[in-house]
């Protein structure tokens, strides 16, 4: 019998939430089969089994959050049940002695029957349904129901096997405890009670207040951004890049492109320019950690992608060694995986620098927060055609504003200015990006 534990699916992951079991108890599993979908601090990912055999027991229910290394299932020949919750409260605590024989005795001893009945009885603090059983619900659904005063027995579950999940509770209206879904335990008719009023959030000067729980990804963003601003002394350098030749070059690339080929975007050009500049400025490609500098031999550029009300940063590895078309292809594949929810842990790790581009939204310029422990992040604005003075005459040029946020513990003013100037010169002479 082998335990399947909560895996570490990202370098910053501390716990994970079971979203959906992709295999059921009794299914045969091979190494590499997708076993369970897990919500991590970065994305929702399907975990591929690293063991083979029969899925004998599911220990973690959908919606349950567990720390890394905690057992979530067992693989072996002894099939025990659909989940620890379905097996009853004792099984949920980890006991393994509740496995019933395939052929139960025809006349069980009275003591055994009483013990079985006691096992099936739900704990006093958890409401029971009309049959005396504990309603099937995920832990997070129970927590939210308790906070909102919602009786689980009055809900219809939409999860596997009719289990009540978080969404079912959120759709329900709060009722006074004990008001719905229960049979009276006495033969006397219940005393008449006044109609229960639906509890609603009090009206405030701001109107009705709605509270929303953060996803794992949103929790990580909040924690890491607060950590970054609190611990990394940010300073900002701003520059204007003349993208006129880059615009002309991209037009030629589009004209010469064959059908179905990938045409590099301006952001791909920025990624390539940053990668070449990072190779020449090792401190910008490093990190300040535990009182010393970390300098990395590989140049891996993270590209910020917006998805599902969160920010995910997949990595273009060895961007300094790749051509523009390869960077363009990698970037599109990664962005597509982020939006489809199929991005993998290795594709979200290992970035040594980050590019964040809001130019497609018409944002002229902005300042970004460093993605710790990286030394810097480049914020890229929109390309706009504006009047400029050249050779004593007024003409127009395609200008793009960039903003470099730096961690002053590793990247100082003058070296950071040289680094940004190198990025600008590479973009203003875009043919050098093909080298």
> Which residue, 136, 116, 134, 6, is CA-closest to 59?
6
Residue scoring higher pLDDT (384 or 172):
384
Question: With 70 as the cut, is the pLDDT of residue 17 above it?
Answer: yes
Q: Which CATH number fits domain 216-434: 3.30.559.10, 3.40.228.10, 3.20.20.70, 3.40.50.10680?
A: 3.30.559.10
75-89, 99-113, 296-310 — which is least confidently predicted? 99-113
Check: CB of residue 233 under 8 Å from CB of residue 411.
no
What per-residue confidence (pLDDT) applies to 160?
55
pLDDT digits (tens, 9 = 90+) for 169-203: 877 764 443 333 333 333 444 455 555 555 566 78
CA 65 to chain centre: 14
Mean pLDDT (the chain) is 80
> Which residue, 161, 160, 157, is CA-closest to 171?
157
120-134, 286-300, 313-327 — which is least confidently predicted? 120-134
Over residues 371-387, the mean pLDDT reads 96
E strand map for 12-94: 15-21, 28-29, 34-39, 44-48, 53-58, 65-67, 71-75
How would DSSP label each residue in 153-190?
Answer: GG----SGGG-B-HHHHHHSPP--TTSSS---SSSSPP
99-108, 190-199, 403-412, 421-430 — which is least confidently predicted? 99-108
pLDDT digits (tens, 9 = 90+) for 25-76: 989 999 888 899 888 766 777 888 888 899 999 999 998 888 889 999 999 8
Q: 3-class SS at 358?
A: coil
199-203, 357-361, 370-374, 414-418 — which is least confidently predicted? 199-203
Residue scoring higher pLDDT (259 or 29):
29
Over residues 117-141, the mean pLDDT reads 49
- 412: which residues sit within 8 A by CB, 6+ positions away? none
Q: CATH 2.40.50.100: which residues of the chain?
A: 2-92
Question: With 90 as the cut, is the pLDDT of residue 268 above it?
Answer: yes
Q: CATH 3.30.559.10: which residues of the chain?
A: 216-434
Q: Residue 107: which pLDDT band, with cuts at 50, 70 and 90?
A: very low
What per-residue confidence (pLDDT) applies to 9?
79
Burial 207-243 (b: 16+ CB within 10 A, else e): eeeeeeeebbbbebbeebbeebeeebebeebeeebbb
Q: Tokens 């005459």 sit at which residue?
A: 393
Question: With 80 as the cut, is the pLDDT of residue 135 above it?
Answer: no
Catalytic site residues?
Answer: 408
Give me the percent of the chain exceeding a pLDDT of 90: 45
2-92 belongs to CATH 2.40.50.100? yes
Check: CB of residue 332 under 8 Å from CB of residue 308.
no
156-160, 252-256, 417-421 — which is least confidently predicted? 156-160
CA dihedral for 79, 84, 87, 91, sign (positive or negative): positive
Residue scoring higher pLDDT (266 or 254):
266
Top mean pLDDT of 77-86, 150-159, 395-404 is at 395-404
Question: With 50 as the cut, is the pLDDT of residue 90 above it?
Answer: no
Q: 3-class SS at 401?
A: strand
Question: With 50 as the cut, is the pLDDT of residue 86 above it?
Answer: no
Q: Residue 78: which pLDDT band, with cuts at 50, 70 and 90?
A: low
pTM above 0.85, yes or no: no
What per-residue confidence (pLDDT) applies to 216?
75
Burial 306-327 (b: 16+ CB within 10 A, else e): ebeebbbbbbbbebbebebbbb
């Amino acid at each position: 019998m082998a335990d399947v534990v909560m895996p570490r699916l990202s370098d910053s992951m501390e716990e994970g939430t079971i979203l959906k079991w992709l295999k059921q108890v009794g299914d045969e599993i091979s190494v590499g089969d997708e076993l369970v979908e897990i919500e991590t601090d970065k994305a929702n990912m399907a975990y591929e089994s690293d063991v083979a055999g029969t899925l004998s027991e599911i220990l973690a229910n959908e919606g349950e959050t567990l720390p890394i290394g905690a057992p979530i299932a067992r693989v072996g020949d002894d099939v025990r049940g659909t989940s620890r919750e379905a097996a009853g409260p004792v099984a949920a605590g980890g006991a393994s002695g509740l496995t019933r024989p395939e052929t139960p005795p025809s006349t069980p001893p009275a003591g055994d029957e009483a013990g079985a009945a006691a096992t099936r009885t739900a704990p006093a603090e958890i409401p029971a349904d009309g049959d005396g059983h504990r309603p099937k619900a995920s832990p997070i659904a129970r927590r939210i129901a308790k906070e909102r005063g919602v009786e689980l027995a009055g809900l219809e579950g939409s999860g596997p096997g009719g289990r009540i999940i978080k969404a079912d509770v959120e759709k329900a209206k709060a009722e006074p405890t004990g008001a719905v879904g229960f049979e009276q335990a006495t033969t006397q008719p219940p005393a008449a009670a006044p109609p229960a009023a639906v509890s609603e959030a009090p009206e405030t000067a701001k109107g009705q207040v709605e509270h929303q729980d953060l996803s794992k990804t949103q929790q990580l963003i909040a924690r890491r951004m607060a950590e970054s601003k609190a611990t990394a002394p940010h300073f900002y350098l701003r520059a204007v890049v003349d993208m006129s030749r880059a615009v002309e070059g991209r037009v030629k690339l589009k004209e010469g492109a064959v059908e179905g080929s990938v045409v590099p975007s301006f952001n791909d050009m920025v990624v390539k320019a940053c990668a070449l500049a990072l190779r020449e400025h090792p401190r910008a490609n490093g990190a300040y950690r535990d009182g010393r500098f970390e300098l990395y031999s590989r140049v891996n550029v993270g590209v910020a992608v917006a998805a599902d009300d969160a920010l995910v940063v997949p990595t273009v590895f060895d961007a300094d060694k790749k051509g523009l078309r390869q960077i363009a292809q990698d970037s599109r594949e990664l962005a597509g995986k982020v939006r489809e929810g199929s991005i993998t842990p290795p594709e979200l790790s290992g970035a040594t620098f980050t590019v964040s581009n809001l130019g497609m939204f018409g944002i002229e310029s902005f300042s970004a927060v460093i993605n710790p422990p990286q030394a810097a992040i480049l914020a890229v604005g929109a390309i706009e055609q504006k009047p400029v003075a050249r050779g004593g005459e007024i003409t127009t040029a395609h200008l793009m504003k960039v903003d470099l946020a730096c961690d002053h513990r590793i990247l100082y003013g003058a070296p950071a200015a040289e680094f940004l100037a190198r990025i600008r010169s590479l973009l203003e002479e875009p043919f050098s990006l093909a080298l």
